[in-house]
Every structure is written in C-alpha cells, then in structure tokens.
Structure 1
Amino acid sequence: MRETVAVQATIVGREWTAVFGAVMAEVAGCFPRRDSRLLAREMTQAMLMELERRNCWTLAEALGHGGPHRLQHFLSRGAWDHDAVRDRFAAWASGELADGEAVLVIDETGDEKASPDCVGAAHQYSGTLGGVGLCQVAVHLTYASPSGHALIDRELYLPAAWAGDEERRLLTRVPEEICFATKSQLAAAILARARHLGIRARWFAGDEVYGSRELRRTARTLGFDYALAVRADHTATTPAGHFTATVLAAQVPARSWMRMRTGHGLKGDRHYDWALIEIHSDDTPTGHDDSGHAFLVVRRHRYTRELSFYRCHSTTPVSLADLVHVICTRWKIEECFQGAKSLAGLDQGQVTCWNSWMRWSLISLIAAAILAITRARTQTTDTADTELVPASTRELLAVLRVTALPAPRRDLDHILHWSAWRRRHQHRAAQAHRRWNNLTAAAIS
C-alpha cells in the first residue's frame, strides 16, 4: 500500500509541474515585463506554501525577498492586465475540465474585515459570517464537470452607499466605470463573460439570491439551461392558475414523491424526497419562441419534512434525475470556497484598493485551480484494490509541499532580517498613529 502511495505521489508531482507550467505559459503574454511574469509565478507558488498566514509580508518572507515592497507594487501598481489574465485563465481552466453537460455555479462569499477602509467593506449580511458583519462580499463562478471543479471568475460587490461615496472610491482607486450593481447583475456579467470566452457548459445553477426573473431571462438569452433555488413564496403559473411554491408542493400526491440519493458523506449516502411539477415559463427572452420545458422541483427532507424549491428550464426534455444532479452540483462551489480559503489564501489578503483586491483574488483562484486540475488529472489512478479512498486536494498539497513546491526560506539570517524589518515598521506606524491622535485631539480642543 505504501508503494502505491509513493507511485501516486510521483505522478502528482509530475502533473502539478505540467499544469503549473501550462497556466503560466497561457497568461505570460499579459505581463509586459519579465520581472512581473516571475513575480506571478513566485506568488502563485507562495500561495500554496505551508504558512500560518498569507499576506504580502509573509509571502515575501517565504520567497526570500528583503521586504514586501515588490509584491505590494505588483498587486497595486504593477503594469499588467489582470482582466486579460482572468479571461485567459478562465478559458484555460474550463478547457482542462471541459464537458458539454458542465454546470456553471454562481454564489457569493464574504470575508471578514477589521477596517471599513478596505474596498467594498461594509456592514452587510454574509452567510460565511452567519449574519451581518463588517466584510467584503464577492460573487464567484465555479466550473463544475464530471472531471472536477474550480473557481474561474469573481466580481467584488460594492454596496450602494459604498459605490456612491466619491471620497472612498478615490482613496481605494475604484475605476470610474464601476458603479453599483446588484449581485444578480454581477452574476449576469460573469455569465456573459463566460459565454463570450466560449466556455463549454450547458447548465447554470445558483441559490435564491440568483433566482430573479431578470437573471433567468439573461441565462436563457445566453443559451444556458438553469436550475435555480427560489423562495417558498415564489409564484409559478400552471394550467390551473398562479400558485406559490408552497401551495404547489402541498398538492403533490404521495405516490409522486421519489426518494433519490443526492450525495455521499463519511456517514453514508444522503437521500431526499423529490417531486417534479410542470409550470409555464415566465422568462422567455424578447425575440425567442417559448420553447423548452419549465419545472418547479421540490426537495423534501426525509425526517423534518422541510421543503426547498428550485425553478428549472431546459431546452430539451430532461428527467428528474438530471435536474437533481444539476441542483446538487451547486454545492461544489462551497467545496471550492473552502479549498481556496484554507489552502490558497483567498480570504487572507490584507489589501485595501481595487487593483490589489482584484489581483490577490485572481492569483489565489489560479493557485486553487492548479490544485483542482492536478487532482482531476490524477484521479484516474485505480485505488479500488488498495483500500484507499482517492486523495483529497489537501492530501495532494501535503505531498506537493515536499516534492514539487519550493520550501519557504527559513535560514537564521533571513528570519532575523525580517524580525528587524517588522519591528522597525511597527515602531514607525505606532509613532505615526500617536502623532495623528495628538493632532486630532488638539483640533478638537
């Protein structure tokens, strides 16, 4: 068994090197200078190093730099096109995992912040925080296929008060063309970008935030079928009239519920009861005929009887099992969030400005996608006869930190240099804060 794991480790190291080289070659043309290309490579690798915390200081120290200034300049003012990198990366990553029945999953995640000075940071609701708190919220896109899944795009959400505050926009260098947009509008822009890039996917999935009629109409205009969660009071039209989702679920005969497996966990298979109700479409795009098939799918918990509702549309006939598969694929984005945050520092960047946030999040997404695609390439190894479950992304990274990734610099001279640098910087910052407090106190008196 140990020999099998050793062989798999060799394969993982080889595939990671190939995947890392491929994505760096794909985006190389977006960096006009050699030093920025090298920094992109170094920073992507450093995101995956074994560090307690990831920010410009810790990454620079791990890479052997004398200070964080090169990375800070790379993120905030470096002359490279992060939008072009985003597009090339998204097309490349989706191509690696390509499948005609793939699902594009939209969801937002929040990152807690200590200061309202960070771009987009405000007191707002975040499921990650479990309520309202000071955080940044960003809408993300995951490409999910039978081969694997990875985050490939994102947009930062600016609350209305934030987007309309000219002083804060100026301080955080928000581009003039960026204005307030709802999460659904950000999702529509991301979907349009994916279609423009030629990303192969049939389905679009999301939670209740993304079940609006406008976004559903946009999805159909772009040629996506969808399976989107809706609220219990969502109204749908049937041949018998207009009814809420709750009322329609109550009319489903007992024999029409189907128990289906919706996933597998450590404690065994997960089963729910499902029902399929045909409804009329209410989101036909202008100039399109009202073809296709619209459904309301109801999920019922086996024990609590709690109901969840999903509005679906397919251009071709589709079974309940197919729709359940798409609905359950939506949870892949939660796995992507967990991996990108815990393994690639998605939520750890201590950046305040627009460019810095865009670039930090992009490098993190690239690092996480390299891991995901490496795992997808190595999942063909047969472990059925070895009593081994397939290696998780975390397991792969543990191997890569020994076999393929450069080790963080840890020699004594370097550690002492950084200790002195941090203490000097913190001393100067404390002095500046005291001077500012004295000035403000004198002005008030």
Structure 2
Amino acid sequence: MTLEQVEGWAEELAVLTGGLGHLFARPEPREVFADLIEGLLSGLGRKNGWTMAERAGHATPHRIQKFLGEASWDADALLGEVQDYIAGHLADAQATLVLDDTQVIKKGTRSVGVAHQHCGVTGDVRNCQVMVMLTYATKAGHTFYDRRLYLPAVWADDAGRRRDAGVPEDVTFATKPHLGIAMLTTALARKLTFAWVAADADYGKDPALRAFLHEQALPYVLAVPVTLPLAGPPSKPHQPAVKTAGDLLHYAVIRDRWERRSQGEGSKGQRYYDWTWFDAALPGQEPADGFAHHLLIRRSTEKKQLAGGRVDFEYAYFLVHHPHNAALPEAVCRAGVRWTIEENNEQAKQITGLGQYQVRRWNSWHRHVTCAMLALAFLTVQRTHHPGPEPAPENDTASGTGLEQVDKAGKAQPTTEASACH
C-alpha cells in the first residue's frame, strides 16, 4: 500500500464516512468524524490530536478532543456499523475468527485500564493498557471485527478510579478469555459467517472458552501450553503415562511420523514445520456431538539454539476441535491463520493510529479505537477491490499448495492434498 493509493480512495472514503453521518445528531461532529478518519488514514508520522487537527486545518486539537471525549455519540453504534461494513464486503463462510490481545505502553496511572501488567509488546511486565481484539480473517483479507478493553482487578475494584475514568457501573472484572467469549457471542448473534476459531495459548488453556466453543459446536485450533491436562491415550507398559500435552512428545519421538506442511505465507515465503498428531481427551470436557479432539505437535524443521545453550528442535502444541469427517490437516493452516491478528495489530498501530491516542476515559478510548478499526477495515476492503500485482509462484510449494510428508530418512515427500490456508 502506498500513500498515493490511499489518496486515490478519497471518494470511496467520503461515501463511507458520509453514510455514517446518522450516528451524529449535529453537523459539527459529522465533520470532525470525517476529519479524524482521514487523519488516521493519512501519511502523518504521528497521529495524535495536534497533528490531525493541524492536517484538518483546525487551530487547536479542541474539536477532535471534544469529539472523542464530550460529544454525544455511541462508540458501540459505530462498532456495529464497522461490523456490518466488514460483513458486507468480506463475508466468507470459510473465514477464521482469531482472538488475541495487544498492549499499548502508557505512563502514569490515570488512563483507564493502565496497570503494571504483562506487556506482550516488550515481553516483560510494565505499565500498559491491554486490549483484547477479534480479527476476521478471510482469503480476501483480514481486519479487526471487535474490541474489548481489559480492566484489571486493581481498576475494577477501585470505585474512585472507575468514577474518574467514567467506567460504566455494569462493567465488572472479566478475564481476557471471558472478554473473548463476549466478542464471539456478538459475532454469532450478528450471524457473521465463519468456519473456525483460532487463538494463542493464553486463550487455549482456558476451560471456560473451550466449553463455550464446545457448546456452540465450533471448530477450533487453539495453541496450548505444554502443561495442558490430558486424559490419555493410555500409556503402554514401561512407558510414561500421558497426563499433559507435553507427555505426548515422548510418543511422537518414538513413533517418528512427521509431515512437513506449510502453515501459510510469511514475510519470507511459506512457513514450513513438521507436524504430528494424536487423538486426545480433555479431563471433564467432552467435544461437541459429532466432534473429536486432536493434539497437534509442531516441530521446527531444524534444530535451534534454545534457552540455556541447549540445541534441539522447537516444539509447539495445538488443541483441535473438529467434526469427525473434517480433514485434520486443515487445522495446520488454521493455526497459521492465527498470525493474521498479529499483522492487524502491527498495521493498525503503524498505519491507522490504534495506539496513538491521548485519551484517558472509558468512552474516549472506545471511540478512538473504534475509529482506528474503521480505518483499518476501509484499507482492507480497498485492497480487495484494488489489489496490487503479486509475483507469480515458481512452483506449487511456493504458492502454498505443496504439502510434504517426511519419511524416516528425513526427506520430504510431496503429497497430493491441497492447502486449506486462507
């Protein structure tokens, strides 16, 4: 995407923002809304109240600040319009809903939700806000479909901080997976078409989220920790019992049946790993009727330098819930689709100002983030309508249809199956 392309979409953008004018009771917020969305899509290096106000010809950032903080309009109503826009342009029965969270580093303690907590951006604990996001990923493109601000217990239980930040009374503490359940519930209620759900291990390890997906009979591929409790399969004589996902690695090494498959296209081409899988049972959690559980183990194609100086393969584990007649290799591709939400996080922060807000209150946060989501959705839709040239693939493997099986000698043998990745 280039700045020239964005500028060429001005007419389409004016139609989009003009069509949302009914969300605002007066002309001024309609004008500021259009200015704000244009600013979020502009080539400004930093997208805050001052820079966007200057771009729009405002003398001060007051009009934008008032629009985000004081004007009378409903961020959730705008979110519903964003969701309708996405469904209207990207709807795909084979789409994947991807759940994850991202963080924005913040100083001080007054901005809503800011606390000393784990920050995935830096990999340590620091002052930040956490937003739980839901991405709609299709073959044509992917963009954010929903958002929730994670309110830590130190905020949820502090009446004074809640009052100062304008947190609604009905908002209580909820874990990140429970916020994910709320967003999935909304997607189902709005009859969004999709086929699978994917998430990382912080969500995959949560029994409540898995139970919800079972109740809804939804296929999923969830990354899980090595410690995920399992109820089998039964161990063989003189072999260790299987009690966790990690215990199955012993049997995977002994069995030595791995298939080399692409997890999808990455920045450096196809992302190949070696895979094996087992029937799995979760203690106290049955799959939906007509569904089964499998545990996928992913192994790096080469040994790597690991923590502590040890050289070995890297392994990752995925729990799969799928219909009995489904092709299990599809789960490999769906596990790869999970990375689309990382791309959305990066694009939204770098291009549409997702984390560049200067707001502190509950309403203001939701307004800014929803506007940034609309801007990202607009970009995604325009890319589907005006795709840029793509290099021709050199062979089937490069185009994402090459699935390989690794024999005992470690040689990759091509298979005839087609990739389901998108």
| Counterpart residue type for residue 179 of structure 1 | T
Match of 1:220 in 2: 214
* Contact 1:15 1:378 (8 Å CA) reproduced: no
| Counterpart residue type for residue 17 of structure 1 | E
Structure 2 residues without counterparts, runs of 5 or longer: 236-241, 304-312, 394-422
Residue 84 of structure 1: which of 64, 77, 91 is its match? 77
| Counterpart residue type for residue 83 of structure 1 | D
Residue 234 of structure 2: which of 230, 233, 240 is its match? 240
User: In structure 1, how many angstroms separate the alpha carbons of the residues matched to 2:159 and 2:47?
Assistant: 31
User: In structure 2, how many angstroms separate the alpha carbons of the residues matched to 1:189 and 1:266?
Assistant: 32
Residue 54 of structure 2: which of 52, 55, 61 is its match? 61
User: In structure 1, how many angstroms separate the alpha carbons of the residues matched to 2:326 and 2:299?
Assistant: 20
Establish whether residue 296 from structure 1 lines up as the match of residue 306 from structure 2.
no
User: In structure 2, how many angstroms separate the alpha carbons of the residues matched to 1:354 and 1:79?
Assistant: 14
| Counterpart residue type for residue 98 of structure 2 | V
Number of residue equivalences:
376
User: In structure 2, how many angstroms separate the alpha carbons of the residues matched to 1:262 and 1:96?
Assistant: 26
Match of 1:358 in 2: 366
Match of 2:278 in 1: 277
Between 177-186 and 49-58, the greater mean CA deviation after superposition: 49-58
* Contact 1:23 1:89 (8 Å CA) reproduced: no
* Contact 1:57 1:68 (8 Å CA) reproduced: yes
Residues 363 and 266 from structure 1, CA distance in 2 versus in 1: closer, same or farther, beyond 3 angstroms? closer
Deviation at 1:267, TM superposition (A): 4.3
Larger % of helix: which?
Answer: 1
Residues 201 and 16 from structure 1, CA distance in 2 versus in 1: closer, same or farther, beyond 3 angstroms? farther
Aligned CA RMSD, in angstroms, stands at 2.5
SS in 2 for 1:349: coil
Establish whether residue 189 from structure 1 lines up as the match of residue 182 from structure 2.
yes
* Contact 2:147 2:183 (8 Å CA) reproduced: yes
| Counterpart residue type for residue 292 of structure 2 | H
Residues 295 and 209 from structure 1, CA distance in 2 versus in 1: closer, same or farther, beyond 3 angstroms? same
- Structure 1 residue ranges (4+ consecutive) displaced by more than 6 angstroms after TM superposition: none
Map 1:114-263 to 2 at 5 A: 114-211=107-204, 212-240=206-234, 243-252=243-252, 253-263=254-264
User: In structure 1, how many angstroms separate the alpha carbons of the residues matched to 2:243 and 2:19?
Assistant: 51
Establish whether residue 328 from structure 1 lines up as the match of residue 336 from structure 2.
yes
SS in 2 for 1:119: coil
User: In structure 2, how many angstroms separate the alpha carbons of the residues matched to 1:282 and 1:370?
Assistant: 44
Deviation at 1:262, TM superposition (A): 2.2
Structure 1 residues without counterparts, runs of 5 or longer: 386-445
Bigger Cα Rg: 1
TM-score by length of 1: 0.79
Residues 265 and 102 from structure 1, CA distance in 2 versus in 1: closer, same or farther, beyond 3 angstroms? closer
Deviation at 1:263, TM superposition (A): 3.4
* Contact 1:26 1:92 (8 Å CA) reproduced: no
Residues 152 and 265 from structure 1, CA distance in 2 versus in 1: closer, same or farther, beyond 3 angstroms? closer
Deviation at 1:275, TM superposition (A): 0.8
